[in-house]
Structure 1
Amino acid sequence: MQSPFRRFSGTPNYLTNDSLEAAVNCALALERPLLVKGEPGTGKTLLAQAIAESLQLSLIHWPVKSTTRAQDGLYVYDTVQRLYDARFGDGDVKDIRHYIKLGPLGRSFAGSERVVLLIDEVDKADIEFPNDLLHEIDRMRFHITETGDEVVASERPVVIITSNNEKELPDAFLRRTVFHFIDFPDVELMKRIVRVHHPKLENELIDQAVVAFYELREMPRLRKRPSTSELIDWISVLKQSGVGKERFVKELPFLGVLLKKEQDVETYRAAKKGGGWRA
């Protein structure tokens, strides 16, 4: 049964723009997975949470690892637990169904209500995983070999797939998804995002912190530029420690919140020493 179409327009805690909303609503209308790319900290994972909140649906999170297979997302047969119970006399080992554990994809099919399924960092898995994954999503049903049962989805899940561009994804996979690249926020949007997380912070402090943050991101030779989440954390530390704008006009206190690589810290210190930082 097809669910009534409901549009996504962001949430009070997740700010969007027209292009992102259009991509999400296109995926909802076509009932296709939405593939979201962007540098870390641009809100790819949080987007799925916002969609679930906006559509009033439950969220199932499937973090992908290098060893993940599409079959793992459907179900696993816990033979180790069954052997343990057989040895120590716990549980009904005769009923195999007790040892069938549905995976994230299986749970998104088995429920009676529609859910949002977040498949996080799909590019970490083997090259065959993306195509195998969409094959299972297209079928909307699967057999449990050990019991002979068939799980048939009554509602197609809203599927959000994130990628950090660690490897190329197959063309066949890309053709079957709706794609959106989340650009890093510009200065004005970043200020709005900060105000969502720090609503009581004075505007002048936000302005100074955001300007310093972008000047740091624009430094050459940084291996890992600080992300939105690191800016939010940094401002929290500034606020809790009582550091005013006077101190970070010429320096960046609590630099370890923003820069996470030793080489980047040295790059900043060298630039500061040479007069290249806010000269």
Structure 2
Amino acid sequence: MQFTGQITGRFTGTDRYVAPPDLSMAVNAAVTLERPLLVKGEPGTGKTELARQVAQALDLPIIEWNVKSTTKAQQGLYEYDAVSRLRDSQLGDARVHDVGNYLRKGKLWQAFEADAKVVLLIDEVDKADIEFPNDLLQELDRMEFHVYETGQTIRAKHRPVVIITSNNEKELPDAFLRRCFFHFIRFPDAETLRAIVDVHYPGLKPRLLDEALNQFLELREVPGLKKKPSTSELLDWLKLLLAEDLSPEDLRREPSQMLPRLHGALLKNEQDVALFEKLAFMARRQR
């Protein structure tokens, strides 16, 4: 099947999203190959936001399908509301003669029938049942699906740019992986973190940023953490530091005080807080 509306621009990030060269390369390769881009990485590394920024950079509308544990692949195509049709037939409503009145279009249907190319985000695909990705193989491959209730075949007018995110909570089927261009977003290094912070908080005092980044990166390296703080949590923490007008000196801790200031923005479960309290207790005993 031939598609019109080929993309001529290239993604290199936006003024609100710092994209490392390997990530930009992955996006552009997926667009060129016309394959779904499967993006994995720990939560908070900007996978969902990537799709939105790709849409902005390429000047395309975006359709978002947020997958939940109860989501079925069929919902992305359409849902047939048989209950409403039965109720309307009992009431003598003339709408019952057209079954199309009872079809709710899913996100894939919306993307396929769009009058121009769109970005289709399938967010957190690994939340659903293990069969969910396999159930979408043909539709994503052929860019079409059949509507049994009406006998229609819905074909994509323009092949969408498909971006699929996964938090790596479960393995995805090999057949699904073969059809995707894969990229793992590694956690940013210190230089990239600085660039990301500068996008969100330009003009942040260098000494405060140095101290905050040092503490943040040290915290991530503590052995035994159940959930390492992510980029989004760093940005939340910095926002609080600015709101409290804290100085670099305010952030500095004694060895017996392991928890950073306003640590609730960084540590998100009681096990990790307890770990730091234990480390602080051990440090006090060794003094």
Pair in the same fold by TM > 0.5: yes
Deviates more, 1:251-260 or 1:11-20: 251-260
Please, what is the CA RMSD of the aligned residues?
2.0
User: What is the distance in 2 between the residues matched to 1:158 and 1:68?
Assistant: 21
1:255 Cα deviation (Å)?
Answer: 1.1
Counterpart for residue 68 of structure 2: 65
Counterpart for residue 52 of structure 1: 55
Deviations 1:86-126 (A, max 9, x none): 56788834332222111111111011111111111112222
The 1:18/1:96 distance shift into structure 2, 3 A limit, reads: same
1:94 pairs with one of 94, 97, 119: 97
2:169 pairs with one of 166, 171, 178: 166
8 Å CA contact 2:145–2:153 kept in 1: the answer is yes
For residue 182 of structure 2, give the secondary structure of its aligned residue in structure 1: strand
User: What is the distance in 2 between the residues matched to 1:135 and 1:143?
Assistant: 11
For residue 32 of structure 1, give the secondary structure of its aligned residue in structure 2: coil
The 1:90/1:266 distance shift into structure 2, 3 A limit, reads: farther
Aligned residue identity for 2:81:
D
Deviations 1:48-86 (A, max 9, x none): 111101111111111122332222110011233434555
1:201 Cα deviation (Å)?
Answer: 2.1
The 1:16/1:92 distance shift into structure 2, 3 A limit, reads: same
Aligned residue identity for 1:263:
Q
For residue 36 of structure 1, give the secondary structure of its aligned residue in structure 2: strand
1:229 pairs with one of 218, 229, 232: 232
Question: What 5-or-longer segments of structure 2 have no aligned partner?
Answer: 254-258
Question: What 5-or-longer segments of structure 1 have no aligned partner?
Answer: none
8 Å CA contact 2:68–2:128 kept in 1: the answer is yes
For residue 118 of structure 1, give the secondary structure of its aligned residue in structure 2: strand
User: What is the distance in 2 between the residues matched to 1:58 and 1:138?
Assistant: 21
Counterpart for residue 135 of structure 1: 138
User: What is the distance in 1 between the residues matched to 2:116 and 2:144?
Assistant: 15
The 1:222/1:4 distance shift into structure 2, 3 A limit, reads: closer
User: What is the distance in 2 between the residues matched to 1:163 and 1:114?
Assistant: 23
User: What is the distance in 2 between the residues matched to 1:5 and 1:31?
Assistant: 13
Counterpart for residue 278 of structure 2: 270
1:256 pairs with one of 264, 269, 273: 264
Q: Work out the number of aligned pairs and report it.
A: 277
Counterpart for residue 21 of structure 1: 24
User: What is the distance in 2 between the residues matched to 1:4 and 1:239?
Assistant: 41
8 Å CA contact 2:115–2:157 kept in 1: the answer is yes
User: What is the distance in 2 between the residues matched to 1:126 and 1:174?
Assistant: 16
8 Å CA contact 1:5–1:29 kept in 2: the answer is no
User: What is the distance in 1 between the residues matched to 2:89 and 2:244?
Assistant: 57
1:116 pairs with one of 114, 119, 129: 119
Counterpart for residue 197 of structure 1: 200
1:170 Cα deviation (Å)?
Answer: 1.4
Q: How many percent of aligned residue pairs carry the same amino acid? A: 55
Aligned residue identity for 2:216:
F
Counterpart for residue 35 of structure 1: 38
For residue 275 of structure 1, give the secondary structure of its aligned residue in structure 2: helix
For residue 222 of structure 1, give the secondary structure of its aligned residue in structure 2: coil
The 1:88/1:234 distance shift into structure 2, 3 A limit, reads: farther
TM-score, normalization by structure 2: 0.90
8 Å CA contact 1:23–1:178 kept in 2: the answer is yes
Deviates more, 1:195-204 or 1:211-220: 195-204
User: What is the distance in 2 between the residues matched to 1:252 and 1:141?
Assistant: 52
The 1:241/1:80 distance shift into structure 2, 3 A limit, reads: farther
8 Å CA contact 2:141–2:179 kept in 1: the answer is no
Deviations 1:237-268 (A, max 9, x none): 11112222222111512111110110100111
